[in-house]
């Protein structure tokens, strides 16, 4: 494993995710993807161009991984790859 790698076990989260409300699975963007205006009010609509800033994620494990990647990019402005598999090796291959 390299310094820039991490592994997460989503088993418990995937079970808990089935009980999550729509609000708990919704993430609001910090920056508008259209006009790049910063969303300081945590509004669901951009104050400049009225674009929808919230994104609802589903119940599946694939959606949980998409949500994780979205949150990383939204918070620290870096993209990351992620793979899903029954073990670390398969997940690493799937992330490529």
Catalytic residues: 5
CB-count exposure of residue 24 (10 Å: 0-12, 13-18, 19+): exposed
CA pair distance 8, 10, nearest whole angstrom: 6
Collapse the DSSP code of 27 into the 3-class scheme (helix H, G, I; strand E, B; otherwise coil) and give the result. strand
């Amino acid at each position: 494993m390299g310094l820039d790698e991490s592994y997460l076990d989503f088993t418990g989260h995937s079970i808990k995710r089935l009980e999550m409300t729509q609000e708990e699975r919704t993430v609001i963007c910090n920056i508008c993807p259209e006009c790049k205006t910063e969303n300081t009010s945590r509004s669901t609509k951009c104050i400049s161009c009225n674009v929808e800033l919230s994104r609802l994620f589903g119940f599946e494990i694939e959606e949980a991984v998409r949500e994780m990647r979205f949150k990383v990019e939204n918070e620290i402005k870096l993209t990351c790859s992620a793979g899903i598999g029954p073990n670390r090796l398969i997940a690493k291959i799937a992330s490529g």
